[in-house]
Amino acid sequence: MPYTENDYPSSFKNFESPLKKKAIDITNRLLKEGYNEEDAIPIAISQAKDWYEDASKREVEAMEQKSGRDFQKESKDSSTDPTLLDNAVHVLPDEDKWVVKTAGAKQASDRFDNKDAAIDRAKTIAKNKATQLVIHRSDGTTQTTHNY
């Protein structure tokens, strides 16, 4: 059952509303991707704090406007496909960034300025999913493959 703005981890209780909502949103997505709560909550807190520091005023206001129904709808409509849980996680070049993307997914889960950061994130995901990690070179060819 997904977390809501009325039912969330106690570690979110002192967050300002937009930060709390973003942490709830990220936690729900991670749980749907197969993460366990012990891992999902600290990851969500870290990512939500990073988002909050970098978010524009408009993004913060949009998050503030989210309602419980929005979280429930996103949970049901999320593009996260349970059949992707066994698929390999790839670190791929994308213009001047590096992305982490599960094979068969419609979009990347993360974007990074440098390859090492993308690899660190992809390792965490691949280990949690007990699947394969495929690291690509800047030309898109396979550099390394790891099995977890």
Q: Cα 81 vs. chain centroid, distance in angstroms?
A: 14
- Tell me the pTM: 0.51
Span 73-120, pLDDT tens digits: 554 444 445 566 778 999 999 999 999 998 888 788 889 999 999 999
Span 45-70, pLDDT tens digits: 999 999 999 889 998 888 888 765 55
Give the start-to-end residue ranges of the domains of the chain.
Answer: 10-77, 82-147
User: Which two tokens mark 80?
Assistant: 């996260």
pLDDT at residue 31, rounded to an integer: 83
